[in-house]
Amino acid sequence: MGTQHEKSVADPMTHHPVESKHRLKHRRVHLVGAGGSGMSGLAMMLHAQGAPVTGSDQSDGPGLAPLHGAGIPIAIGPSNGGLPEDRDLLIHSAAVQADHPELLEAQRRGTEILSYAEALGRAQAERTGISIAGTHGKSTTTALLSHVLVETGLDPSVIVGAHCPQLGGGWRVGAERVPEGPFQDRPGLMVCEACEFNRSFHHHRPVLGLINNIEEDHLDVYAGIEEIIESFRQFASLLPTEEDGGYLLIAHDGAHRREVVSGLECAIETFGYTPEADWQLTLEEDVVHLQGPEGTPPIRWTAPMPGSHNASNAAAAAIIAHRAGADWSSIIEAIEGFAGLDRRMQRLGRRLLPDGGAVEVLDDYGHHPSEIDVTLRAIRGTWDPKRLICVFQPHQHSRTRFLLDQFATSFTLADIVIVPHIHFVRDSEAERNRVSAGDLVDRLRARGTTAMHMHPFEAIVEQLEVICRDGDLVVVMGAGSVWEIGRAFIEAGQS
């Protein structure tokens, strides 16, 4: 039986067999930009499945550490087109430009080339895909769902764009076949983040899908919210029919569900805090209550992560896990045992002050106005600091410019905001010159928020040394390298 299953696996969307020789694990793969978010996880997954893997990256970094540890050959530094001779597939990250020497060499040889998004879709087509989409909460929900599926015995493969200690990192290889539940004996489950940037999630091949929320973002790619909604609608249309197991869970509010679900043939359910949702949740202190459709028993658990947004993420993960075949008692136990993931309200420690006082230091990935607002609210409600000091590094100049007014209103719960230079990524030099960190500081001050622009990171650490008092809480926020500030502030107190 196992040998027969190995010969071909049905693409869940087309039901056409994927021949064994075309499966990713049977290719000789080279990854360009191997240390990128998701790319390193894909590299490790292919390596664990037995595929010969090599890679390259402009610079060494934390994302490459697992690859080095696994003995995967990685070339570091500028490339001269040094693509290994025996490679028959090149996969590149979204950050790699079309004129990269290794891509040009692959084109010259006639080697197949896939973007990361295309490769992820190919991997999902070989399994029973679960895609987690939304403007916010993708990594947290993906990691939590994956943890639940592991703990409940459904043994998924996983690609998540953040480090989750309980998953062993940002990836895992699971069972070849689903061991039990409604998808029993189908190709094994594969849980992936579905990112809307550059419409990359249109390459996914999910059977189960989640849309957590939809807001304006990536406005360097989309002309406005209407295009974003349409892109999510196209993502949802990838789900197979209800008869073939297709299922979409979508937020009742905040996800433009009427426009998104129009014309879909998959099963559809909604979730949220409103009583009209198919799955209604309430949060009482740190206890989450979830009431499902008629016949579903009342469900409750103690929230492993603070905040109403994380309660919603956990509820979505629980509903998807149940749809995949996990029982409620096991789901609840797994959720309550979730230890979180890096850079999501991650507590770095306490920084002792010279006068004997202490400051709590947190690290968070939030880089969109809505994320910032809900995170600061959760921090206030959980830690109740005397003062909340936020070091926020804007990520991408175009995002900062397009959402400048929204950013200015998202820090109302912070007592002090320190803003370093904007993290420069993907934008043109012209865009770089159209907005600065000083523009955000000016908007914050105009709204009565104490704010300052400082650079470099070392100067910010020195400033924190001066202004922090006993009982303060410092949170460093952003998708760039701002995490270095929080760790440096902690380490300075240990010397």
Q: How high is the pLDDT of residue 458?
A: 95
Instruction: Give dist(CA 33, CA 131) in Å, integer.
Output: 23
Cβ-Cβ contacts under 8 Å for 84 (sequence gap 6 or more)? 30, 54
State the sign of the Cα–Cα–Cα–Cα dihedral 95, 100, 106, 107.
positive
**Which H/E stretch holds residue 76?**
strand 74-76
Q: Give the number of other CB atoms < 10 A from CB of residue 453.
A: 17
CATH class, domain 346-492, is alpha beta
Arithmetic mean of pLDDT, 73-85: 86
Q: How high is the pLDDT of residue 94?
A: 85
Arithmetic mean of pLDDT, 368-378: 91
Which among 207, 189, 200, 208 is positioned nearest to 232, based on CA atoms? 200
Which among 233, 270, 237 is positioned nearest to 253, based on CA atoms? 270
* Highest-scoring range by mean pLDDT, 28-42, 74-88, 177-191: 177-191
Cβ-Cβ contacts under 8 Å for 124 (sequence gap 6 or more)? 12, 131, 190, 192, 204, 205, 206
> Which of 239-248, 290-299, 468-477 has the lowest average pLDDT?
290-299
Q: How high is the pLDDT of residue 167?
A: 86
Is pLDDT at 2 greater than 50 in this prediction?
no
Side-chain half-sphere of 364: how many Cα atoms within 13 Å? 27
Q: Which two tokens stand for residue 247?
A: 């299922």
Instruction: Give dist(CA 269, CA 249) in Å, integer.
Output: 5
Q: Is there a contact between 352 and 358 (Cβ–Cβ < 8 Å)? A: yes
Q: Is there a contact between 427 and 399 (Cβ–Cβ < 8 Å)? A: no
**Which H/E stretch holds residue 64?**
none
CATH of 24-115, one of 2.130.10.30, 3.40.50.720, 1.10.560.10, 3.40.50.150: 3.40.50.720
DSSP string covering 92-129? E-TTS-TT-HHHHHHHHHT-EEEEHHHHHHHHHHTSEE
Domain boundaries in the chain? 24-115, 126-336, 346-492
Q: How high is the pLDDT of residue 432?
A: 86
- Tell me, yes or no, if the two domains 126-336 and 346-492 fold the same way: no
Burial pattern 212-244, b for ≥16 Cβ within 10 A else e, equals: bbbbbbbbbbbeeeeebbebbbebbbbbbeeee
pTM summary value: 0.86
Instruction: Give dist(CA 115, CA 459) in Å, integer.
Output: 39
Per-residue pLDDT of 199-246, as tens digits, reads: 999 999 999 999 999 998 888 889 899 999 999 999 999 999 999 999
To 10 degrees, what angle do helices 328-336 and 138-151 make? 120
Assigned CATH for 126-336:
3.40.1190.10
Q: How high is the pLDDT of residue 495?
A: 64
Is pLDDT at 9 greater than 60 in this prediction?
no
Higher pLDDT, 61 or 93: 93
Is pLDDT at 106 greater than 70 in this prediction?
yes
Q: Which two tokens stand for residue 486?
A: 């929080």
